[in-house]
């Protein structure tokens, strides 16, 4: 399953080794105000010049807050588990020459490699949600990659702060395992779902699990921030697979391995598909004017509609140009419109191409649109995302468009598009 412009991915050997990429769901190729620095819609993890991974070493059981401060002042990475006002377990971490560590969170402090803010459903323009309302942790999680093939990537809840500490307070869920080592969960948790069958045309959704600070896998808590942990799932691991989803309670990230990205369509391929549709000169069956999908750049912005923009009646899939009649409601003019071709009543929306290649499970033509947002991608990609329950809030799950995070219709997640060719 190779795309026509595969050469884009064939980097010379002297280039740094790429472990994979994390792509934030809900953004169609870039953030609304553009990607800037460590705040962007996708983050590539490359092998570091010098390993910066850490691994557990010494454990201290401390009975005074002063002793805890003394241990943490050593400038060494550590995780502090506060059991009571006068007892804290501090696990020191030492340098690991075999791994690279990457940290993800809302904080803009230097230990965070990838700054992630709350995703606004529908991909609206403007600044991101104010930080005060955020449910994403400042130091949400860390991904640790092995520096030798097959470059296994593992995910852990929580990240080290500027003082190289992870601090689990009295109220955080924490416990001592039978083998004696401490572990815990972050306030809103880090959830992971590994798809069944990888990230391919045959993929099916997996089961959502919670990842602990030490990387063990648990069933979900009753609610995101419940005090009681779920059950340990011993047969599963925290190793990220191509297509694994990581939810940080406010944003969901898709992990794509370097090999997985090699098989995705490229930007050039998606552009070729767009030009192919436009070259077929689809027409509005009523106005008989030629329709054309806007350029990738304009599709990402979703800012202004163009005259030739295709629109669709989502209930039946008939593609038209825009016309201002057939309303069933004055309050929401496009919510209930009657298709002039088949008289089916339903939402009438503009179509936008899905421009983020990482969300495609194949390299098929863009034939299906998500309901109700109108983002267009291949049939298998549309059907895959329509089946995936994504975490929403503290205990709800629903399918959403990967390109704009709009919640999909419960009755019809996607619609097959019916284009009319030129009559001449």
Question: Bridge-partner residues for 183, per DSSP?
Answer: 175
The token duo for 405 is 């995070």
| Tens of pLDDT, residue by residue, the chain (424 residues) | 434 433 334 444 578 999 999 999 999 988 888 888 899 999 999 999 999 999 999 999 888 766 666 566 667 999 999 988 888 999 999 999 999 999 999 999 999 999 999 988 765 444 444 445 788 999 999 999 999 999 999 999 999 999 999 999 888 899 999 988 999 999 999 999 999 998 999 999 999 999 999 999 999 999 898 989 999 999 999 999 999 999 999 999 999 999 999 999 999 999 999 999 999 999 999 888 999 998 877 666 555 677 899 999 999 999 999 987 666 655 565 678 899 999 999 999 999 999 999 999 999 999 999 999 999 999 999 999 999 999 987 778 999 999 999 999 999 999 999 998 765 4
Terminal CA-to-CA distance of the chain, rounded, Å? 36
169 close to 217: Cβ distance less than 8 angstroms? no
Phi-psi region at 121: left, alpha or beta (left = phi > 0; alpha = psi -120 to 50): beta
Distances (CA, A) of 354 to 7, 30, 129, 401: 22, 12, 23, 10
CA distances in angstroms from 254 to 33, 205, 242, 282, listed in the order given: 21, 13, 9, 34
DSSP SS3 for 6: helix
DSSP E strands in 25-117: the ranges are: 42-46, 53-62, 77-84, 87-96, 99-105, 114-115
CA distance 211 to 223: 15
Residue listed under structure tokens 């860390």: 142
Burial class (CB in 10 A: 0-12, 13-18, 19+), 198: middle
């Amino acid at each position: 399953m190779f795309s026509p412009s595969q050469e884009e991915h064939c980097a010379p050997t002297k280039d740094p080794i790429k472990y994979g990429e994390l792509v934030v769901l809900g953004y169609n190729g870039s953030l609304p105000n553009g990607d800037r620095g460590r705040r962007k819609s996708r983050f590539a993890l490359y092998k570091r010049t010098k390993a910066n991974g850490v691994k557990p070493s010494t454990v201290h059981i401390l009975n005074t807050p002063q002793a805890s401060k003394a241990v943490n002042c050593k400038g060494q990475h550590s995780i502090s588990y506060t059991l009571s006002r006068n007892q804290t377990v501090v696990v020191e971490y030492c340098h690991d020459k075999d791994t690279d560590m990457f940290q993800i969170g809302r904080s803009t402090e230097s230990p965070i490699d990838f700054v992630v803010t709350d995703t606004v459903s529908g991909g609206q323009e403007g600044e991101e949600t104010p930080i005060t309302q955020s449910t994403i942790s400042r130091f949400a999680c860390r991904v640790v990659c092995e520096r030798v093939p097959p470059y296994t990537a593992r995910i852990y809840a929580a990240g080290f702060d500027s003082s190289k500490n992870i601090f689990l307070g009295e109220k955080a869920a924490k416990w001592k395992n039978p083998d004696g080592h401490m572990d815990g969960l972050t306030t809103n948790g880090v959830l992971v779902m590994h798809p069944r069958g990888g990230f391919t045309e045959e993929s099916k959704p997996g089961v959502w699990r919670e990842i602990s600070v030490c990387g063990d896998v648990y069933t979900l808590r009753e609610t995101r921030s419940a005090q009681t942990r779920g059950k340990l799932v011993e047969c599963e691991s925290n190793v990220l697979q191509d297509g694994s989803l990581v939810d940080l309670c406010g944003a969901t990230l898709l992990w794509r391995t370097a090999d997985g990205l090699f098989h995705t369509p490229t930007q050039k391929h998606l552009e070729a598909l767009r030009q192919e549709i436009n070259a077929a000169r689809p027409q509005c069956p009523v106005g008989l004017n030629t329709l054309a999908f806007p350029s990738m750049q304009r599709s990402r912005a979703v800012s202004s509609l163009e005259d030739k923009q295709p629109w669709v009646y989502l209930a039946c899939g008939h593609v038209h140009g825009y016309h201002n009649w057939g309303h069933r409601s004055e309050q929401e003019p496009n919510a209930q419109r009657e298709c002039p071709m088949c008289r089916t009543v339903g939402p009438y929306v503009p179509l936008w191409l899905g421009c983020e290649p990482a969300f495609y499970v194949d390299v098929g033509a863009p034939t299906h649109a998500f309901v109700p947002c109108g983002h267009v991608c291949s049939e298998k990609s549309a059907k895959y995302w329509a089946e995936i329950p994504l975490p929403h809030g503290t205990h709800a799950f629903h399918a959403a468009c990967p390109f704009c995070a709009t919640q999909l219709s419960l009755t019809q997640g996607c619609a097959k598009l019916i284009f009319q060719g030129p009559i001449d």
